[in-house]
């Protein structure tokens, strides 16, 4: 295995680190890069710095699934100041790489390389790879008169640094996409680098409180699945339904994540054929009505709820009911189900939506909005002389009764 080494504080790891590692892998035909976080004095670890354990965990979660990257904690275990020559010998001894390992250093270190411990020995044991960090010449690194054999990596410079990111986090400025998702979760969960507590109502999918991390994972999995299964148009409809559901949930004080989850997955069975829909819908224990058998498309809500529960382990009854009833409605719909019913009908990519309904979605209460959208849907069905499902009819009767009382 051909190895290269990339050291750093990784406090925190950021996309620039991974971008550089990737560039070296692609340009220089290494099989794997070992990321080696430097030891930092625990006395230094305060608000501004993360502990070694947290730095390692951030790294590990950021490279999950990428077999070309690995982490070695030798410098952290060694404690104190680590000399590159010691690390290099240690890595060669333990990993026994094919050929000389690469040693990636930034061109900002070139001018002081002479003052490192045993620079000649380093240069003889490793292929020194000089990566661009300073904006020197357009094609090469700032190598000056670096007297040792070396390879110039013509990487693109990303002008981000861990210290910048730490400052941004501490000041609560936007730093979200500078750090890989895994590390980001950890920073939020542990409030590293003095990340201020989120203000009330701050709701971004990924900013979940920790007990909802499972839900976030399910959402991402489902969103990928829906994008793969449905046409791009249908996927866009699903995503826009999810976004509107999110906004409506926020406005009505409901769980935004559940709204997004139900919205993104409500049409997950939309592309299935009749026999598949009937087979799945039957698993919810209900019977298949004559109308449903005739117009099997109506079953994609029921089938969707079955798929969510059985394949994706969704157990939340509100979410399952919202998906189940989004096609026909039902007399005992919960608030989330009403939100999904509405969002599905009036989301932004749907044409021919009465602008008055969209306006209501911004200013009226949920029940009035739901009634208006349902009324529109039913009058549309009537205009087409389409049979109205049992669920919808029961819903209409129930609503009439409520109005009378």
Contact between residue 263 and residue 346 where contact means Cβ atoms under 8 Å apart: no
Stretch that binds Fe ion, among 110-118, 143-151, 197-205, 263-271 (CB under 5 A): 263-271
Quick one: how many helices (H) and strands (E) in the chain?
A: 18, 6
Contacts for 72 with CB less than 8 Å, ≥ 6 apart:
34, 35, 36, 91
Stretch that binds Fe ion, among 43-51, 193-201, 329-337, 344-352 (CB under 5 A): 344-352
Measured CA to CA, the distance from residue 142 to residue 105 in angstroms comes to: 12
Beta carbon nearer to Fe ion, 309 or 377: 377
**Which of 54, 292, 344, 347 lies at the binding interface for Fe ion (CB under 5 A)?**
344
Q: What are phi and psi of 116, to 5 degrees?
A: -70, 165
Largest CA distance in the chain: 92
As measured in angstroms, the least distance from the Cβ of 30 to Fe ion is: 47
**Which C-beta is closer to Fe ion: that of 57 or that of 344?**
344
Minimum CB distance to Fe ion smaller for 255 or for 267:
267
Q: C-alpha angle with apex 198: 194 to 200, nearest 5 degrees?
A: 155
- Provide the 8-state DSSP code for 189: H
- Residue 62 in contact with residue 187, Cβ under 8 Å? no
From the list 101-109, 145-153, 167-175, 267-275, the region that binds Fe ion by CB under 5 A is: 267-275
Q: Please state the closest distance from residue 158 (CB atom) to Fe ion, in A.
A: 40
- CB of 11 or CB of 344, closer to Fe ion: 344
- What is the smallest separation between the CB atom of 344 and Fe ion, expressed in angstroms? 4
CA–CA–CA angle 253, 259, 262 (5° rounding): 155
Name the strands in the sheet holding 69-71, side by side, starting at the edge strand that comes first in the sequence.
69-71, 32-37, 3-8, 102-106, 127-131, 150-153
Minimum CB separation of residue 289 from Fe ion in Å reads 18
In this structure, how many other beta carbons lie within 10 angstroms of the beta carbon of residue 25? 19
Closer residue to Fe ion, CB minimum distance, 152 or 265: 265
Long-range contact set of residues 209-214: C-beta below 8 Å, sequence gap at least 24: 212/257, 213/185
**Piece of the chain touching Fe ion by CB under 5 A; list 69-77, 124-132, 217-225, 265-273:** 265-273
Q: Check: CB of residue 153 under 8 Å from CB of residue 147.
A: no
**179 versus 269: smaller Cβ distance to Fe ion:** 269
Minimum CB distance to Fe ion smaller for 57 or for 267: 267
Cis omega (within 30 of 0) on the bond before 61? Answer: no
**Which part of the chain contacts Fe ion (CB under 5 A), choosing from 98-106, 199-207, 259-267, 280-288?**
259-267
Shortest distance (Å) from residue 223 CB to Fe ion: 15
**75 versus 347: smaller Cβ distance to Fe ion:** 347
Smallest separation (angstroms) from Fe ion to the CB of 224:
18
Beta carbon of residue 299, minimum distance to Fe ion (angstroms, whole number) = 10
Q: Which residue has the tokens 């490192």?
A: 116
For residue 97, the cross-strand partners are: none
CB of 233 to Fe ion, least distance (A): 11
Helix, strand, coil shares of the chain, percent, nearest 5, are 55, 5, 35
Span interacting with Fe ion, options 81-89, 98-106, 118-126, 261-269, rule CB under 5 A:
261-269
| Rounded Cα–Cα distance for residues 241 and 162 (Å) | 37
CA distance 17 to 195: 22
The stretch among 86-94, 96-104, 264-272, 345-353 that binds Fe ion (CB under 5 A) is: 264-272
Count of positions on this chain that bind Fe ion (CB under 5 A): 2
> Which residue lies nearer to Fe ion by CB, 236 or 282?
236
Regarding 347 and contact with Fe ion (CB under 5 A), the answer is no
Per CB under 5 A, the list member of 75, 267, 316, 321 interacting with Fe ion is 267
At its nearest, how many Å lie between Fe ion and the CB of residue 300?
6
Q: Shortest gap between Cβ of 377 and Fe ion (angstroms)? A: 12
> Which parts of this chain interact with Fe ion (CB under 5 A)?
267, 344
């Amino acid at each position: 295995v051909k190895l290269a080494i990339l050291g750093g504080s990784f406090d925190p790891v950021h996309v620039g680190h991974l971008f550089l590692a990737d560039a070296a892998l692609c340009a220089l035909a290494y099989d794997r890069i070992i990321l080696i976080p430097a030891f930092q004095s625990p006395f230094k670890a305060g608000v501004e710095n993360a502990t070694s354990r947290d730095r390692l965990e951030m790294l590990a979660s950021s490279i999950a699934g990428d077999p070309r990257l690995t982490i070695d904690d030798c410098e952290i275990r060694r404690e104190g100041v680590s000399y590159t020559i010691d690390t290099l010998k240690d890595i060669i001894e333990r990993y026994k790489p094919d050929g000389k390992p690469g040693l990636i250093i930034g061109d900002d270190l070139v001018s002081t390389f002479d003052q490192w411990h045993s620079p000649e020995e380093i240069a003889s044991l490793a292929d020194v790879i000089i990566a661009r960090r300073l904006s020197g010449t357009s094609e090469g690194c700032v190598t000056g008169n670096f007297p040792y054999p070396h390879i110039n990596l013509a990487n693109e410079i990303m002008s981000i640094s861990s210290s910048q990111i730490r400052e941004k986090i501490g000041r609560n400025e936007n730093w979200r996409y500078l750090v890989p998702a895994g590390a980001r979760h950890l920073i939020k969960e542990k409030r590293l680098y003095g990340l201020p507590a989120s203000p009330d109502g701050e709701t971004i999918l990924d900013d979940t409180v920790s007990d909802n991390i499972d839900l976030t994972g399910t959402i991402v999995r489902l969103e990928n699945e829906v994008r793969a299964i449905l046409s791009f148009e249908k996927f866009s409809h699903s995503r826009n339904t999810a976004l509107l559901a999110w906004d409506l949930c926020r406005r009505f004080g409901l769980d935004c994540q559940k709204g997004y989850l139900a919205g993104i997955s409500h049409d997950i069975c939309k592309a299935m054929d009749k026999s598949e829909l009937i087979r799945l819908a039957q698993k919810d224990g209900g019977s298949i009505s004559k109308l449903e058998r005739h117009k099997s498309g109506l079953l994609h809500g029921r089938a969707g709820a079955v798929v969510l529960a059985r394949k994706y382990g969704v157990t939340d009854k509100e979410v399952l009911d919202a998906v189940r009833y989004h096609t026909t409605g039902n007399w005992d719909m919960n608030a989330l189900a009403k939100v999904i019913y509405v969002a599905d009908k009036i989301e932004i990519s749907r044409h021919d939506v009465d602008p008055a309904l969209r306006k209501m979605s911004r200013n009226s209460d949920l029940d009035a909005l739901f009634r208006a959208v349902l009324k529109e849907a039913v009058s549309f069905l009537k205009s087409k002389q389409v049979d109205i499902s049992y669920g919808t009819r029961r819903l209409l009767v129930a609503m009439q009764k409520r109005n009378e009382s």
